[in-house]
Amino acid sequence: MTAELHAITTTVNGTRYSRRVESRLLLSDFIRHDLGLTGTRVGCEHGVCGACTILYDGLPARSCLMFAAQANGHEITTVEGLAPERGRLDPLQEAFRAAHGLQCGYCTPGILLTMKAFLAENPSPSEGEVREALSGNLCRCTGYQHIVDAVLLAAARRHGESPA
């Protein structure tokens, strides 16, 4: 059976890509295999773990629960798009480094994109709000404590405060 192909154009991290994709190609696999952007991780592939979270038109979404064909005409940000330039990190990434907000790092890209959007919407969150916002991202190493610390540190630095 010859697979039906769809011509799509999508903007990822500010760069336009035009590709032909099979209907059943998941957006997560498109990003990793077709575009070579392997920062996006694939974990459970059924929407539970959050490792494949990207920003889709600015909002966090599971890229394993979308088809690449749907992304035609839409904008995507992956973890590769966070840092402002080579050699510099986004302030959120800096906070994760400073607070030791990761161990193996597999869940980190999904968490960074989820928290990037969360802090844009809620710049001064409580610890409880951070934990709730993290509920859709599984981390099996850290016990979450340092991740929560890192997010609160990023928020505090943005306000020019030292964290409590």
Partner 1 sequence: MKPAPFRYVAAESIERALALKAEHGDDARFLAGGQSLIPAMNFRLAQPAVVLDINPLRELDFVRAAGAGGLRIGALTRNRTLERDALIAQRQPLVREAVPHVAHPQIRNRGTLGGNLAHADPASELPALMLALGARLRAQSARGERWIEARDFFRGVFTTALRADELLAEVELPGLPPRTGTCFMEVARRRGDYAMMGVAAVVTLGEDDRCTHARLAYCNAGATPVSAASAAQALVGSPLGEGQIHDAAAVAQREIDPLGNVHASKAFQRHLAGVLTRRALQTAVDRAKAGG
Residues that bind partner 1 (CB under 8 A): 1, 3-4, 6, 22-26, 29, 45-47, 50, 53, 56, 59-62, 64-67, 69-70, 72, 114, 118, 132-133, 135-136
For the bound state, the minimum distance from the C-beta of residue 86 to partner 1, rounded and expressed in Å, comes to 28
For the bound state, the minimum distance from the C-beta of residue 92 to partner 1, rounded and expressed in Å, comes to 16
- Is residue 114 within 8 Å of 135, Cβ to Cβ? no
Distances (CA, A) of 25 to 3, 50, 86, 100: 11, 19, 30, 35
Burial of 67 (0-12, 13-18, 19+ CB in 10 A): middle
Residue closer to partner 1, measured from CB, 94 or 138? 138
For the bound state, the minimum distance from the C-beta of residue 29 to partner 1, rounded and expressed in Å, comes to 7
Give the containing element (helix H, strand E) for 15.
strand 15-22
**Residue 21 has which token pair?**
């994709």
For the bound state, the minimum distance from the C-beta of residue 47 to partner 1, rounded and expressed in Å, comes to 5
For the bound state, the minimum distance from the C-beta of residue 87 to partner 1, rounded and expressed in Å, comes to 30
Residue closer to partner 1, measured from CB, 94 or 131? 131
What would you measure as the largest C-alpha separation in the chain, in angstroms? 61
Residue closer to partner 1, measured from CB, 58 or 84? 58
| CA dihedral for 113, 31, 16, 22, sign (positive or negative) | negative
Backbone torsions φ then ψ of 113, nearest 5 degrees:
-70, -40
Residue closer to partner 1, measured from CB, 77 or 114? 114
Residue closer to partner 1, measured from CB, 42 or 156? 42
